[in-house]
Copies of this chain bind each other. A is one copy, B any other.
Amino acid sequence: MTSIITTRSDFYAEVQQFYARQMQTLDSGKLEAYADTFTEDGEFRHTPGREPARTRAGIIRDLYAVHQRFADDPQQRRHLFTMMNLDLQVDGSIRSTVYALVITTRPGGKPELVRSCVVHDVLVREDGGLRNRSRMVEHDGLD
């Protein structure tokens, strides 16, 4: 069973499933549950030029600060990860380079393409599942 886990197809599907649940969690506004997809000492840099959030507690604080901005502008945001490029590292961690689209829909409106990103993750195995040790997001179109 252990050897099967290390074949490409197994961990590829596992990471896709991990991302689907992780980002559906975030898009549902479950910020604590999203932070829990990071390791305790995890690092999350979602905005270039901004200091990364560190530790789960720090990530939660940061997420609340970001979501505050949407308080007066209700909208459903969706994060779509595609084109997932994985590299299994010798220490068992997985480097993932994946495209992300952010799409938002306001009440009564059409969906809008808000942002095109490249996400750079380091994923590790913990408690039988995957967690982000780090996530660094690059935004397309920055000058």
Binding site for B on A (CB under 8 A): 4, 7-10, 12-14, 16-17, 19-21, 23-24, 76, 78-86, 97-99, 101, 103, 105-116, 140-143
Chain B residues whose C-beta falls within 8 Å of the C-beta of A82 in the assembled complex? 80-82
Chain B residues whose C-beta falls within 8 Å of the C-beta of A107 in the assembled complex? 141-143
Interface of A is mostly: mixed
17 pairs, CB–CB < 8 Å, chain A vs chain B:
A4-B7, A7-B9, A9-B12, A16-B84, A20-B85, A20-B97, A23-B83, A24-B83, A24-B99, A76-B116, A78-B116, A78-B140, A80-B82, A107-B141, A107-B142, A108-B142, A111-B115
Residue of chain B at shortest CB distance from A111:
B116
**A14 shortest CB reach to chain B, Å:** 6
Count copies of this chain in the complex: 3
Q: How far is the CA of A108 from the CA of B143 in the complex (A)?
A: 6
Chain B residues whose C-beta falls within 8 Å of the C-beta of A13 in the assembled complex? 8-9, 12-13
Contact call A80/B99, Cβ cutoff below 8 A: yes
Chain B residues whose C-beta falls within 8 Å of the C-beta of A114 in the assembled complex? 110-111
Given A8-B14, A9-B9, A13-B8, A99 and B116 contact (CB-CB distance below 8 Å): no
Residue of chain B at shortest CB distance from A12:
B13
